[in-house]
Structure 1
Amino acid sequence: MAELPMADRHETVLPPPPDAAREALAGALAADPDTRLLAVSAVVADHPTFLEGWAQLAALGREPIERYAYARVGYHRGLDALRAAGWGGRGFVRWSQPANRGFLACLVRLRAAAAEIGETAEVDRIAAFLHELDPDWDDQNLVA
């Protein structure tokens, strides 16, 4: 399949997450470090499609495989959300759109967790995918 010129590539913007989920996540992240993971888990249990919540779980996971699992769930939930928003497997999903950041954060955290468990091919695929989604991608967007 021929590569689409940049001007012909569709841009997808996810719908913003519910305010209640964002507020609950802010409260959970302010919890004591010993209970933060459980607090964020409760938010995600109440809002299972909340991508920022999955990204935070991936950041807070205690072991590499736990971080990988949280990030992978967030990534797949994000793909579902992108498809529901009209993304057909190609096109831009840019960091400059705040509603896209939860998905992209899951992707970055999946790449980091894949590196931790030695999934080198997956690390390379995710790095390429990030740049396909956002040609201006900069890892400084999210310090994983």
Structure 2
Amino acid sequence: MAEEQNTDLTAEIEEQDYGVRLPPDPAIRKLAKRGRDEFMAVVKENPSSTLCWALLAEGSLLSNTDAADVAAYAYARTGRDLGLEQLREAGWDGEGPVDWGYLPNQGVFRCLHALAMAAERLGFGDESDDADTLLRELSDEAWRALRGDDVPSDRAVDVEVDEGEFDHQE
């Protein structure tokens, strides 16, 4: 009798090691559920969400003004610093890959990309290069996707978040 094959691709993906993974980010579900009208409320409720900081930075970069570029730089640096701290707490020791396909990690990557762009616009070429280099070291796949050289992976893994455990923040 033939062995039964596992056809659950999600389980197969989750079993593979693509690098460090952050804990679930409750802001992801809140943003999806509550939408643009409540964006700033979600940001205020989730100040440690790197995705929130990335979205703030990316939105500022779209404005294409000097003041918005300064704001983007500040948002992206905040998100980068939070993200690197969270990665260390998750077991990252400063080397090795971080999983681009894991949704809660994507805020860190997006903050690094936004920081590289904002720093470049502000004339901080060395800092722009450093952010771009760190992004590539963490995940070449993320670096290519965010630069537009590649499309995001179809192996993105979302996680369930029990919103009840975060109700104290609302």
Q: So what's the TM-score if we normalise by structure 1?
A: 0.76
Aligned to 2:31: 25
Which of structures 1 and 2 has the bigger CA Rg? Answer: 2
Task: Deviation per CA, 1:11-64: give whole Å up to 9, x if none.
Answer: 21112212xx22332356533xxxxxxx43332211111111111111123511
> Do residues 80 (structure 1) and 79 (structure 2) align?
no
> Number of aligned pairs?
124
Q: What RMSD, in angstroms, separates the aligned Cα atoms of the two structures?
A: 2.1
Q: Which runs of 5+ in 2 are unaligned?
A: 1-17, 153-170
Q: 1:121 to 1:14 in 2, by over 3 A?
A: same
> Do residues 103 (structure 1) and 108 (structure 2) align?
yes
Structure 2 residue matching 1:25: 3-state secondary structure: helix
User: 1:1-144 to 2 correspondence within 5 Å?
Assistant: 11-18=19-26, 21-26=27-32, 29-31=35-37, 39-61=38-60, 63-136=68-141, 137-138=143-144, 139-140=147-148
Q: So what's the TM-score if we normalise by structure 2?
A: 0.65
- Partner amino acid, structure 1, of 2:54: A
Which contiguous aligned blocks of 4+ residues in structure 1 show a shift greater than 6 angstroms? none
Structure 2 residue matching 1:43: 3-state secondary structure: helix
CA separation in 2, counterparts of 1:30 and 1:40?
5
Q: Cα offset for 1:78?
A: 0.3
- Partner amino acid, structure 1, of 2:59: L
Q: 1:67 to 1:106 in 2, by over 3 A?
A: same
Task: Deviation per CA, 1:97-130: give whole Å up to 9, x if none.
Answer: 2221111011111111111111101111122111
Contact 1:92 1:133 in 2 (8 A): yes
CA separation in 1, counterparts of 2:113 and 2:34?
21
- Partner amino acid, structure 2, of 1:22: I
Query: % of aligned pairs identical?
Result: 37
Q: Which runs of 5+ in 1 are unaligned?
A: 1-9, 32-38
